[in-house]
Chains A and B, each alone.
Chain A
Amino acid sequence: MINPNDIKFYDVQTIESHSTGIVLTNGKIDSINENETKGSGIRALCGGSWGYTSLSGNKDIKSGIDDAKMLAKSMNSHSPKDEVDLSPSKIPKKISSPKPKISPSDITMEEKIELLREIEHYIKSEGLKSTTVSYSDSTSKVIYMNSEGAEVEYDIVRSGFSVSAVAGNENTIQSGRESKFDICGYEIFKKYDPFVAAKKAADTAKLLLDAKTPKGGNPKVILDQELAGVFTHEAVGHASEADLVLMNDSILKDKIGKTVAPDEITIVDNPMIYEFGYFPFDAEGSEPEKTILIKNGIMNEFMHSRETANRLGGTPGNARSQGYAQPHVRMSNTYIENGNSNFDEMLSEIKDGIYLIGSRGGQVNTGEGIFQFNAEMGYLIENGEITSPVRDVSLSGRTLDILKEIILVGNDLKINAGFCGKAGQTVPVSDGAPHIALSKATVGGI
Chain B
Amino acid sequence: MGKINENIKDITEEIDEIISIMDNAISFAKKSSADEIEIFYAKSISTSVSFRNDKIESAKESVGSGFGIRAVVDGASGYSGTNISERLIDSVKAAIKAAESMDGDPMWKGLPEKSEYLEIPGLYDENVCNMKLEECVENTMNIIKGISSVDGVKPISGGFSRAVGINIIQNTNGVSAQKKATIVSASADASAESASDTSTAFDYGISRTFDISPLKIGENAAEMAKKSLNGDRIDSGKMPVIFHPFAFSSLIENTFAEAIDADNVQKGRSPLIGKIGEQIANPKLSLIDDATIPGKTGSCSFDDEGTPSQRTEILKDGILKTYLYDSTTAARGNTKSSGNGFKSSYGSVTSVDLSNLVIIYPKSDIIRETKSGIYVNSLIGAHTANAITGDFSVEVRNAFKIQNGEITKPVKSAMISGNIFDLLKNISGAGYDVKDVGGIITPSIKIEDISVIGSE
Query: Which residues of A are in contact with B by a Cβ distance under 8 Å?
Result: 1-2, 21, 25-26, 28-29, 31-39, 48-58, 67, 70-75, 77-79, 81-82, 109-110, 113, 129-130, 132, 166, 168, 172-175, 213, 216-218, 243, 246-249, 251, 326, 360-365, 367-368, 370-374, 391-394, 396-398, 440, 442-446
Which residues of chain A are within 8 angstroms of B393 by Cβ–Cβ distance? Answer: 374, 392-394, 444-445
Q: Determine if B98 and A326 form an interchain contact, defined as CB atoms under 8 angstroms apart.
A: no
Which residues of chain A are within 8 angstroms of B77 by Cβ–Cβ distance? Answer: 31
**A216 nearest CB neighbor, chain B only:** B453
**How distant is A314 from chain B, measured CB to nearest CB, in Å?**
17
In the complex, chain B residues 18-71 whose Cβ is within 8 Å of any chain A Cβ: 49, 52-53, 55-66
**How distant is B364 from chain A, measured CB to nearest CB, in Å?**
29
Q: Determine if B451 and A35 form an interchain contact, defined as CB atoms under 8 angstroms apart.
A: no
Q: Determine if B417 and A248 form an interchain contact, defined as CB atoms under 8 angstroms apart.
A: no
Given A218-B456, A365-B380, the answer on whether A33 and B137 have CB atoms closer than 8 Å is no
Q: Determine if B198 and A52 form an interchain contact, defined as CB atoms under 8 angstroms apart.
A: no
Q: Determine if A74 and B59 form an interchain contact, defined as CB atoms under 8 angstroms apart.
A: yes
Which of B4, B86, B455 has a CB less than 8 Å from the CB of A74?
A: B4
Q: Determine if B82 and A35 form an interchain contact, defined as CB atoms under 8 angstroms apart.
A: yes
**How distant is A172 from chain B, measured CB to nearest CB, in Å?**
6
Q: Determine if B79 and A32 form an interchain contact, defined as CB atoms under 8 angstroms apart.
A: yes
Which of B58, B62, B76 has a CB less than 8 Å from the CB of A49?
A: B58
Q: Determine if B380 and A396 form an interchain contact, defined as CB atoms under 8 angstroms apart.
A: yes
**A2 nearest CB neighbor, chain B only:** B4
Query: Any chain A CB within 8 A of the CB of B12?
Result: no
Which of A55, A216, A249, A443 has a CB less than 8 Å from the CB of B156?
A: A249
Given A251-B198, A373-B384, the answer on whether A79 and B81 have CB atoms closer than 8 Å is no
Query: Any chain A CB within 8 A of the CB of B8?
Result: no
Which residues of chain A are within 8 angstroms of B79 by Cβ–Cβ distance? Answer: 31-34
Q: Determine if A74 and B1 form an interchain contact, defined as CB atoms under 8 angstroms apart.
A: yes
**How distant is B346 from chain A, measured CB to nearest CB, in Å?**
9
**How distant is A14 from chain B, measured CB to nearest CB, in Å?**
13
Given A51-B59, A79-B56, A248-B154, the answer on whether A58 and B267 have CB atoms closer than 8 Å is no
> What is the CA–CA distance of A368 and B101 in the complex, to the nearest angstrom?
51
Tell which of B199, B381, B388, B413 has the most Cβ of chain A within 10 Å.
B381
> What is the CA–CA distance of A29 and B85 in the complex, to the nearest angstrom?
28
Stretch from B87-95, B121-129, B174-182, B319-327 forming part of the interface with A: B87-95
> What is the CA–CA distance of A37 and B389 in the complex, to the nearest angstrom?
37
> What is the CA–CA distance of A180 and B269 in the complex, to the nearest angstrom?
22
> What is the CA–CA distance of A48 and B54 in the complex, to the nearest angstrom?
13
> What is the CA–CA distance of A17 and B456 in the complex, to the nearest angstrom?
49
Q: Nearest 5 CB-CB pairs, A to B?
A: A444-B393, A374-B384, A394-B393, A372-B381, A216-B453
> What is the CA–CA distance of A53 and B9 in the complex, to the nearest angstrom?
13
**How distant is A179 from chain B, measured CB to nearest CB, in Å?**
16
In the complex, chain B residues 312-364 whose Cβ is within 8 Å of any chain A Cβ: 347-349
Q: Determine if A392 and B384 form an interchain contact, defined as CB atoms under 8 angstroms apart.
A: no
Which of B62, B66, B200, B349 has a CB less than 8 Å from the CB of A37?
A: B66
Q: Determine if B384 and A442 form an interchain contact, defined as CB atoms under 8 angstroms apart.
A: no
Q: Determine if B413 and A32 form an interchain contact, defined as CB atoms under 8 angstroms apart.
A: no
Q: Determine if A49 and B154 form an interchain contact, defined as CB atoms under 8 angstroms apart.
A: no
Which residues of chain B are within 8 angstroms of A55 by Cβ–Cβ distance? Answer: 63
Q: Determine if A75 and B56 form an interchain contact, defined as CB atoms under 8 angstroms apart.
A: yes
Chain B 382-419: CB-based contact to A (< 8 A → 1; otherwise 0): 01111011011111010000000000000001011100
Q: Determine if A172 and B98 form an interchain contact, defined as CB atoms under 8 angstroms apart.
A: no
Chain B 197-241: CB-based contact to A (< 8 A → 1; otherwise 0): 011100000000000000000000000000000000000100000
Query: Any chain A CB within 8 A of the CB of B282?
Result: no
Which residues of chain A are within 8 angstroms of B388 by Cβ–Cβ distance? Answer: 166, 173-175
Query: Which residues of B are in contact with A by a Cβ distance under 8 Å?
Result: 1, 3-5, 49, 52-53, 55-66, 76-87, 90-91, 94-95, 97-99, 101-103, 105, 133-134, 137, 141, 154, 156-157, 189, 191, 198-200, 236, 267-269, 271, 347-349, 380-381, 383-386, 388-389, 391-395, 397, 413, 415-417, 451, 453-456
Which of B55, B58, B80, B154 has a CB less than 8 Å from the CB of A35?
A: B80
> What is the CA–CA distance of A264 and B440 in the complex, to the nearest angstrom?
47
Q: Determine if B4 and A372 form an interchain contact, defined as CB atoms under 8 angstroms apart.
A: no
Which residues of chain B are within 8 angstroms of A373 by Cβ–Cβ distance? Answer: 381, 384
Which of A32, A54, A56, A218 has a CB less than 8 Å from the CB of B98?
A: A32
Which of A52, A70, A82, A113 has a CB less than 8 Å from the CB of B4?
A: A70
Q: Determine if B267 and A130 form an interchain contact, defined as CB atoms under 8 angstroms apart.
A: yes
Which of B61, B84, B392 has a CB less than 8 Å from the CB of A71?
A: B61
Q: Determine if A445 and B453 form an interchain contact, defined as CB atoms under 8 angstroms apart.
A: yes
Q: Determine if B55 and A396 form an interchain contact, defined as CB atoms under 8 angstroms apart.
A: no
Q: Determine if B56 and A81 form an interchain contact, defined as CB atoms under 8 angstroms apart.
A: yes
**B190 nearest CB neighbor, chain A only:** A367
Which of A58, A166, A174, A249 has a CB less than 8 Å from the CB of B157?
A: A249
**A54 nearest CB neighbor, chain B only:** B62
Q: Determine if B102 and A29 form an interchain contact, defined as CB atoms under 8 angstroms apart.
A: yes
Q: Determine if A110 and B268 form an interchain contact, defined as CB atoms under 8 angstroms apart.
A: no
> What is the CA–CA distance of A393 and B64 in the complex, to the nearest angstrom?
41
Q: Determine if B60 and A48 form an interchain contact, defined as CB atoms under 8 angstroms apart.
A: no
> What is the CA–CA distance of A444 and B238 in the complex, to the nearest angstrom?
12
Q: Determine if B383 and A361 form an interchain contact, defined as CB atoms under 8 angstroms apart.
A: yes
> What is the CA–CA distance of A53 and B455 in the complex, to the nearest angstrom?
45
Which residues of chain A are within 8 angstroms of B348 by Cβ–Cβ distance? Answer: 33
Q: Determine if A53 and B62 form an interchain contact, defined as CB atoms under 8 angstroms apart.
A: yes
Tell which of B5, B62, B80, B393 has the most Cβ of chain A within 10 Å.
B393
Given A33-B81, A51-B58, A57-B84, the answer on whether A363 and B267 have CB atoms closer than 8 Å is no
Which of B87, B154, B417 has a CB less than 8 Å from the CB of A36?
A: B87
Which of B200, B236, B381, B416 has a CB less than 8 Å from the CB of A249?
A: B200
Which residues of chain A are within 8 angstroms of B1 by Cβ–Cβ distance? Answer: 74, 77-78
Given A57-B85, A372-B381, the answer on whether A446 and B417 have CB atoms closer than 8 Å is yes
Tell which of B56, B64, B97 has the most Cβ of chain A within 10 Å.
B56
Which of A38, A374, A393 has a CB less than 8 Å from the CB of B84?
A: A38
> What is the CA–CA distance of A26 and B81 in the complex, to the nearest angstrom?
26
Tell which of B77, B85, B101, B454 has the most Cβ of chain A within 10 Å.
B101
Which residues of chain B are within 8 angstroms of A361 by Cβ–Cβ distance? Answer: 381, 383-384
> What is the CA–CA distance of A35 and B57 in the complex, to the nearest angstrom?
33
Which of B5, B53, B64 has a CB less than 8 Å from the CB of A54?
A: B64
Q: Determine if B389 and A216 form an interchain contact, defined as CB atoms under 8 angstroms apart.
A: no
**B53 nearest CB neighbor, chain A only:** A247
Which of A25, A48, A57, A217 has a CB less than 8 Å from the CB of B55?
A: A48
Q: Determine if B347 and A74 form an interchain contact, defined as CB atoms under 8 angstroms apart.
A: no
Which residues of chain B are within 8 angstroms of A38 by Cβ–Cβ distance? Answer: 83-84
> What is the CA–CA distance of A26 and B103 in the complex, to the nearest angstrom?
12
Which residues of chain B are within 8 angstroms of A1 by Cβ–Cβ distance? Answer: 3
**B98 nearest CB neighbor, chain A only:** A32
Q: Determine if A49 and B56 form an interchain contact, defined as CB atoms under 8 angstroms apart.
A: yes
Q: Determine if B267 and A445 form an interchain contact, defined as CB atoms under 8 angstroms apart.
A: no
Which residues of chain B are within 8 angstroms of A36 by Cβ–Cβ distance? Answer: 80-82, 84, 87, 90-91, 94
Which of A50, A216, A365, A440 has a CB less than 8 Å from the CB of B59?
A: A50
**How distant is A269 from chain B, measured CB to nearest CB, in Å?**
22
Which residues of chain A are within 8 angstroms of B4 by Cβ–Cβ distance? Answer: 2, 70-71, 73-74
> What is the CA–CA distance of A31 and B78 in the complex, to the nearest angstrom?
6
> What is the CA–CA distance of A202 and B48 in the complex, to the nearest angstrom?
45
Which of B65, B269, B456 has a CB less than 8 Å from the CB of A440?
A: B456
Given A57-B83, A392-B386, the answer on whether A32 and B102 have CB atoms closer than 8 Å is yes
> What is the CA–CA distance of A394 and B198 in the complex, to the nearest angstrom?
24
Which of B56, B80, B84, B384 has a CB less than 8 Å from the CB of A34?
A: B80
